[in-house]
């Protein structure tokens, strides 16, 4: 336990360092990872949606714990490749906003639906998020290292949602998960009108 706490205090500051700190010759791959990592965590729309996927998966339990985040990551990478390629896709920003609104509402209402439908819907939303990541990749960045960064950030955001979603019922605080879903939807409304 002590080692993990120490690791947390060593790794976290490194991840939070400004990208310019990595801007030395030979660190292009690290710059790509840091740049890719910072894209999802730098936007409230991405953070809310990715945490929501973890929360909803935890709320559903069972196979949803891995299937929904897994579907998101796979489809996000596919969307990222479409964005890298410059292929035009309509309604990306609307899809990202809808992901926040819909996922938050599903959590708030504790909705259950077939896992295939849930994972498929999460995958469609992920395609939009991935496209945005890929289309906004800095031109000087290596696509593979950038992708690694945004996949890592996404997995960590999903994990955060899963941890909270699993812990709250164990603390007899199931309603807090539903309130969090409402807060996510409210966040989406605020994003939509701003």
pLDDT in tens, 150-191: 899 999 999 999 999 999 988 888 899 999 999 999 999 999
Surface-to-core class of residue 162, CB atoms within 10 Å of its CB (0-12 exposed, 13-18 middle, 19+ buried): buried
Report the pLDDT value the prediction gives residue 29, as an integer from 0 to 100.
54
Report DSSP state, residue 140: T
Q: Give pTM, 2 decimals.
A: 0.82
pLDDT in tens, 97-134: 999 999 999 999 999 899 999 999 999 999 999 999 88
Nearest to 155 by CA among 61, 44, 97, 77: 77
Q: Where are the domains of the chain?
A: 29-193
Q: Which two tokens stand for residue 59?
A: 């709320």
The secondary structure of 60-95 as a DSSP string is H-TTHHHHHHHHHHHHHHHHHHHHHHT---TTHHHH
Residue with tokens 């929904």: 68
């Amino acid at each position: 336990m002590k080692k993990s706490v120490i690791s947390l205090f060593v790794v976290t500051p490194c991840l939070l360092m400004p990208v310019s700190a990595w801007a030395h010759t030979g660190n292009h791959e690290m710059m790509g990872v840091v740049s890719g990592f910072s894209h999802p965590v730098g936007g409230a729309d991405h953070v809310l949606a990715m945490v929501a996927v973890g929360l909803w998966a935890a709320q559903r339990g069972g196979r949803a714990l891995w299937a929904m985040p897994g579907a998101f990551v796979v489809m996000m990478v596919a969307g990222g490749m479409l964005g890298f390629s410059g292929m035009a896709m309509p309604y990306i920003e609307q899809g990202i906003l809808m992901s926040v609104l819909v996922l938050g509402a599903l959590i708030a209402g504790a909705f259950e639906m077939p896992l295939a439908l849930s994972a498929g819907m999460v995958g469609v939303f992920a395609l939009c998020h991935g496209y945005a990541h890929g289309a906004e990749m800095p031109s000087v960045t290596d696509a593979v290292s950038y992708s690694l960064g945004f996949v890592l950030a996404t997995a960590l955001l999903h994990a955060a949602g899963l941890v909270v979603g699993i812990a709250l019922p164990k603390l007899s605080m199931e309603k807090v998960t539903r309130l969090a879903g409402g807060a996510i939807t409210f966040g989406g409304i605020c994003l939509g009108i701003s």
